[in-house]
A and B are shown apart, each in its own frame.
Chain A
Amino acid sequence: MQSQISKNSQRTKRLAISSMFACLALIFSYVEAIIPFNAGIPGVKLGIANLVVIIALYEMNFRYAFAINALRILISGLLFSGVFGALYSLAGGFLSLCVMWLLKKTNLFSMIGVSMAGGVAHNMGQLLVAALVVSNLKMFLYFPILMFSGIASGIMIGIVAYVIDKKVPKSLFK
């Protein structure tokens, strides 16, 4: 009985936390959309919203992280980048979340490694969809650039996520 109640309360707590996280991720998406950070190559961006997803993945589980990410992408697609942008992001977000989840399960990698792989996988997913839509294999000439940018931004986000994860009280998710 006791455990039933505490389980229910944990679910309610996590529901509230994930909706907050989805909002936060959405705000990060917005911040990213208005920052004039442009490396001159389409697709190269920071991916600050990934911060939220990584912390959700570590502190809660895959399902919550997935729901947060999917919500974030759908809403930000409707608000900022358009439906096609959302399609790219959805593929990238799903692939990167799966890769991060698998790597985390091995317990071999730190948050930074996981985030780095996630960044690369995100770009790869986006590029796959782009190549399908345009049906032009020349798109893959972009891949090395997106790969390096994914590594760089993934490491940065990983370090920040690690620092934030240390500061966030664990009782928030229990």
Chain B
Amino acid sequence: MFKIIKKADIALFVLLILIGLGLSWWSLASGTQGQKVVVTVDGKLYGTYSLVENQTVEIRQRGRLNKITIKDETVQMSYSDCRNQVCVKDGKISRTNQSIVCLPNKVMVEITGGEEDFDAISN
């Protein structure tokens, strides 16, 4: 059965696996250090904050409260009054295109790069 596999097959297999691994590594690492934190509530822009300044922002809307903490160019959801707490457990993010979503409160925290023009094009 296995006599039919030729050397070239194995070489091709290894090559494809390597390309696949390389691509997955690349796609994971492709984000660059972000510059801005964009908070949207229910799809609408709530506010934009610099990732460089250390601060804590309270996001109050419709009686719901979320807090994000920006520290050392990373941001995390430090408090949420939602039930599942998934967003709080997500931890810190710092690279572009990463995001934290709090579904129960419809809050989304995204990181974007500094240049607005670039974002407009890539979206």
Contacts and interface: CB of A to CB of B under 8 A. Distances in A.
Interface string B18-37: 01110110010000000000
Q: Interface majority SS on A: helix, strand, loop or mixed?
A: helix
Contacts of B122: 137
Given A137-B122, A141-B27, A113 B8 contact: yes
A117 to B, nearest CB: 6
B83 interface: no
B27 A113 contact: no
B27 A151 contact: no
B12 interface: yes
Nearest to A154: B16
B23 A144 contact: yes
Nearest to A137: B122
Interface residues of B, number: 18
Nearest to B21: A144
Q: Interface majority SS on B: helix, strand, loop or mixed?
A: helix
Interface in A89-108: 106, 108
B4 A151 contact: no
Contacts of B9: 109-110, 112-113, 116
Interface residues of A, number: 23
Contacts of A106: 8
B20 A113 contact: no
B17 interface: yes
Given A110-B4, A112-B4, A144 B24 contact: yes
Contacts of A162: 4
A10 B120 CA distance: 59
Given A143-B27, A147-B23, 7 more contacts: A109-B12, A116-B13, A144-B24, A145-B24, A147-B20, A151-B13, A162-B4
22 contacts: A108-B8, A109-B6, A109-B8, A110-B6, A110-B9, A111-B4, A113-B5, A113-B6, A113-B12, A120-B16, A138-B97, A140-B27, A141-B27, A143-B23, A143-B27, A144-B27, A145-B24, A147-B16, A147-B20, A148-B20, A151-B13, A151-B16
5 tightest A-B contacts by CB?
A113-B9, A144-B24, A108-B8, A147-B20, A144-B23
